[in-house]
Structure 1
Amino acid sequence: MHPVELTERQTEVLSLLAQGLDLPQIARQLQFSVYTARSHLRDLLPRLKAANGTHAVAIAIGLGILPSDVATKSSTLIGVSHVR
């Protein structure tokens, strides 16, 4: 158990953020509104004592909430492709 408890949705949003998706992409992937994605992010920031999404990802990896290789996982596996 981690010292910080996040909901399943908050963890999903954070994981997708770590993979490089922005809020509109996260909302499409999880099939809810951008407002809801933003709300999940806004609610998890104080739980992690994070200043922003990038900071939250770093903290979550450090606490073991997200695996250290989360950023290297291809988001094409979850149906989102990136143009590089």
Structure 2
Amino acid sequence: MATDDKDLQAGFTGTPVEKTGSATEMARSAVEGLRNEASAVSAAAADHPHTATTLLLTVSALAFAVGYAFGHSAQPARRSRFWN
């Protein structure tokens, strides 16, 4: 257990580690984080092209299947008459 206030980083009795900033600073920080993650993903895809392709195709196939299932279930019930 922390006996010092210096050991507390956050919580009900501690103080926040990060200072609250303006919305612009927070947005810039978020954009910087997204750019870092995007560059990491692109570097990983460049290093492992077969894995990236397989992952992309798998996610695409799952998205198609879910979309097809939702679209098929959203259609109204068919009537038993042959002219409709």
Task: Confirm or deny a common fold (TM above 0.5).
Answer: no
- TM-score under structure 1 length normalisation: 0.24
Give the TM-score of the pair, scaled to structure 2: 0.24
Question: Which one has a bigger Cα radius of gyration?
Answer: 2
